[in-house]
Amino acid sequence: MTAYVIGIDGGGSKTTALLADEQGHAIVEVTGVASAVRSGGVDASADAIAAVVRSALAQAGIDETPRVVCAGVAGTGREALRLELWEALTARQIADEVVIHTDVAVAFDDAFPHGPGILLLAGTGSVALGRGPTGATARCGGWGPDFGDEGGGAWIGRRALSIVAAASDGREPETALTGAILTATESPDVTDLISWGADASPARLATLAPVVFQVADTGDLRANALLDIATEELALHARALARQLFTDERAAVPIALTGGLLGARMPLRKRLTHRLKHAVPGAQVRLDEVVGARGAVRSAMHFLGNAV
């Protein structure tokens, strides 16, 4: 009988499940709602993950319980939440075994299964994970939406709202961000953004990042300045790890980029790749796509003792 595994990449905007056989060969991939974990929201995260697991099995016509589900989920860097999510998923009986990692850890497994490198992830949030030539590992960023995640979508969205408020006050020059954000949030007036922002989840704030990209493309100075700051924040994540793990940012440093804001055609990726040439002179930015769910499948196979 074939043993099936499922790799999960759970972020602040969506959740992806990749169903694979016991050799790690992909069978089907499905996408569902966000499953990033926050305090008090573990059950919602577990429901989202369970839903994509069921959907993947249904699409593949499989009625067997997977041998392992490895879930890489944003927010599980905190041990208490990781354990709470593991208990919730185990109770839902989605697999014989459930393994929980962070979303950046499974993405790193896909980008750098062997050897040194730095993975920089920017989606709803942001974080970097690295492994040096000696095998030492370190993490930078990923402090969450309340006071971290610089350069991520929610951070950009929140900063954009601040710019609009400042422009409304006359503390900053007028900007095309005002009209664009009022339209995106369906707000009749700038004052309506107060309640919109107060109620907005990190994922909802992140929906403003594409608005900033669009306005920046028109030449708006404040939108471009915001993206310059976001780019610099992300570059600092990579430089910090390069110094810590590779001794010197001028050393050869393989860097992979992933997350919704750093996809192949995203404007922030182009800006960041250019900035890394100066911030981390030894950076060797990889062009290969990083697939977190594929890394989670790899981790599931390792759990079974199968190398892929």
Whole-angstrom Cα distance, residue 140 to residue 238? 8
What does residue 152 show for φ and ψ, rounded to 5 degrees? -80, 175
- pLDDT of res. 190: 95
- The pLDDT tens digits of the residues spanning 140-181 come to 998 877 888 999 999 999 999 999 999 999 999 999 999 999
What domains are defined for the chain? 5-101 (3.30.420.40), 116-288 (3.30.420.40)
Q: Average pLDDT in the 252-277 region?
A: 92
Mean pLDDT in residue range 118-143: 92
Look up the pTM and report it: 0.84
